[in-house]
Chains A and B, each alone.
Chain A
Amino acid sequence: MTECQSEPPVGCTARRLWLRKVVGIAIIGLSDPSAAEEPSPSTLPPQPGDQLTVSGERSLIPADVMLNAPPLLVYPRDPLSGVVRDGSRLNQILLIKLDIKTLDDTTRVRAAEGIVAYSGICTHAACAVSEWKGETRHLLCPCHNSEYDVSGHANVVAGPAPRPLPALPLSIAGQYLIVQGAFTAKVGLKKL
């Protein structure tokens, strides 16, 4: 599921292979070391209803995210089992609270009390988007200096990243911030 969230409704593997056949690449001895492993709850992508946590000790409430503060790095957490889904780097999520008045319609629908969530994995080479430029509200990937503007859909404003950071729709259930739906696009780099 993780690899195909933004793909057409065909099997992920089948589509990839079909593409390769179309472009005439001979696949010889194709191997996927990650494919042989059993999926575990900690490696599943964020699931609708998941809560969010920094260290696993407790789930976040909206008041935990301060307006215009540097992003919080969080992971999804299954509210039933308590499992923190930090078994995959692709589950790194950045939470930022913005002034609701500054959000456009698309972003407002995905936000919860002005809190927006984006993938923390760069769409260029899957590095961690670990830096914050508070004056411009840009997220920065230090690997190759790709910058994303969180005021505008995490669009790319500098560097080699080919597309915006995927957004993660949020809502509130009870007192907790929860995941409302899947990432809006494939997390990390898209393979050619």
Chain B
Amino acid sequence: MRSPLLILSLLLLLQGGLPLMAAEKASYPAVTDARLIAPEARNWLMYRGTYNGWGYSPLAKITTANVAKLRPAWTFSTGMTEAHQSPPIVNEGRMFITTPQNRVIALDARTGEQLWRYQRELPDELFQLHPTNRGVALYGDKVYLATVDAYLIALDATSGAVVWEQKVEDYRGGYYMTLAPLAADGKVIVGVSGGEFGTRGFIQAFDAETGKPGWKTYTIPGAGEPGNDSWPGDSWKRGGVPAWVTGSYDPITQTVYWGTGNAGQWIGTERPGDNLYSSSVLGLDVKTGKLRGYHQYHWNDSWDWDEVSAPLLVDIRRNGKVIKALVHAGRDGYLWFLERKPDAIGFIGARPYVRQNVFTSIDPMTGRPTYDETKVPRIGKRAEFCPSMWGGKDWPPEAYNPQTGLLYIPANENLCGAITGEPAKYKRGELYMGVSLAKLEVFTHPDAKDHIGELQAWDLAKGEKVWTVKFPFHNWGPILTTGGGLVFSGGTNDRNFRAFDAKTGKILWKQRTNSGVVGVPTSYEVDGVQYVAVQSGWGVDAQRKQEYLDKSFGIKTAVPQGGVLWVFALPSK
């Protein structure tokens, strides 16, 4: 079966691929460590633009004064449904996007012309709880894709040809990947999804040139390792703790900061203990994968509050002192301020940014929370809690603008949830959660029904919220902020993509798109023109959450599916 495919592939390559390769190969600019550490403002070379995770473009031609004139420059239909979450990543006029079902599309970033398309043949029996992908990594002359059947693929950036592919884990055991890989120090680093399937999470590096497996660090310590005793019996072997969002990276200390998911199965009494390193941030040596430090946001989770979105690296001024901080808007509803230390992660402070009724206190020295036991679900015991299982913020990334000093959070306020635990039996490759997804409940808090979605701006120096924009329904919008004093984000079920004044939150522009915008927006420049790009394509948890909300409210909300890449620019003079 494989041979005819390869032969046909080669024929097609000979027919149409080689001339493009010959013409373009020489002109593709290699993505070096130096460029990744200090990307040119005109490019967007990785998931969040820069290693610090800011989601910030210094480009400043599109400003608060002219953004009202922003118009679509070109669009591109991906031909796919489900959640289009990946950022348009741009290297000197070449754009790379991904779609559900592991397509990679290379485009001319100025004209929208398709350069090549890669599609992976996925196994029919693959169980896709989250049929999505969050983008590629660029390094050297290659483009890297992490797949839902748990492979890492290296493509030639010029032709789209497969250079190598490497199995990361066996998808039949419930492992899959949806994140954009992180490229650094000659390596491509990925983390696995699959916490719902009784997996054991890990983060692993591969040689960028050859695909040879390098270091592998489990998110759950193995037998005999420090922290393993925070799991009873063999529960650590199926304890989940996935790592499904790209980490951030400090190139000075060569430390990767990676967020981890909740422990599985969901109900904490089934695995009494802190369950290290669930719902944590890990600091890993990029060369060895060795754990340099960690901070566990909350222990023995029972609310599905995984904390996979990586912290932003920001130097903040507190009490006249500059602190090398990590900032994370937690799914648990708290905004966390941590300190990057050479061999540890310190606790600075935390405060709720949405309604949170589970934590009764936070230890001022360690950051360890205590819980209101009535808000903790157990087997056979229904518990209501706020925020809901999707948290104050799920995976959609925050952004930080160094001009305003503000952190922008796509938040969901006033939402609560209820879970009743059920006994779980492990069966390889099937859900192992200890809850019935169909019986989860999501509802608004009785004291506050006016809105759910928010875009919040926080002054990091003061640790205070500065402004809030409210939306009637939930907000699932990743954020871009720019040197033009703007914030861009979609995320609402009305299909709008908006520009906000970064200082005030005032909505300055919006475009109703084909579908809901859950894609990560980016900005880039080609031939002196600044563009803003984002994929519109509703699906996965944004849609799932809508279904629960509709059930709760007794309504039916229809958000059309189908992916379209939108690229905006100012009208030419």
Decide if A26 touches B16 in the complex (CB within 8 Å): yes
Interface SS majority for chain A: loop
The 8 Å CB contact of B547, one of A17, A28, A159, is A159
Distance in Å: Cβ of A101 to nearest Cβ of chain B: 29
* A residues 122-173 touching B (CB-CB < 8 Å): 125-128, 130-131, 133, 140, 142-145, 159-160
The 8 Å CB contact of A145, one of B17, B116, B539, B547, is B547
Bound: A89/B127 CA distance, A: 9
Decide if B17 touches A130 in the complex (CB within 8 Å): no
Assign chain A's interface to a size class.
35 or more
Judge if B79 is at the interface, Cβ distance under 8 Å. yes
Which B residues are CB-close (under 8 A) to A192?
79-81, 101
Decide if B128 touches A34 in the complex (CB within 8 Å): no
Which A residues are CB-close (under 8 A) to B6?
30
Distance in Å: Cβ of A154 to nearest Cβ of chain B: 17
User: In this complex, what residue of A is CB-closest to B128?
Assistant: A125
Bound: A75/B8 CA distance, A: 36
Which B residues are CB-close (under 8 A) to A26?
12-13, 16-17, 116-117, 160
* B residues 513-564 touching A (CB-CB < 8 Å): 539-540, 543-544, 547-548, 561
Interface string of A6-31 (1 = CB under 8 A from B): 00000001100100110101111111
Decide if A187 touches B124 in the complex (CB within 8 Å): yes
Bound: A23/B12 CA distance, A: 13
Bound: A187/B125 CA distance, A: 9
Assign chain B's interface to a size class.
35 or more
Judge if A35 is at the interface, Cβ distance under 8 Å. yes
Which B residues are CB-close (under 8 A) to A68?
none
Interface string of B112-145 (1 = CB under 8 A from A): 0000111111111111110100000000000000
Binding site for B on A (CB under 8 A): 2-3, 13-14, 17, 20-21, 23, 25-36, 88-90, 125-128, 130-131, 133, 140, 142-145, 159-160, 187-189, 191-192
14 sample A-B contacts, Cβ–Cβ < 8 Å, listed by A number? A13-B5, A26-B116, A27-B9, A28-B116, A28-B159, A29-B155, A30-B121, A34-B123, A88-B125, A89-B127, A126-B126, A131-B437, A143-B437, A145-B544
Instruction: State the 10 A-B residue pairs at the shortest beta-carbon distance, nearest first.
Output: A29-B162, A142-B437, A34-B123, A32-B121, A125-B128, A131-B438, A35-B1, A89-B125, A145-B547, A142-B438
Binding site for A on B (CB under 8 A): 1-2, 4-6, 8-9, 12-13, 16-17, 79-82, 101, 116-129, 131, 149, 151, 155, 159-162, 165, 167, 429-431, 436-438, 539-540, 543-544, 547-548, 561
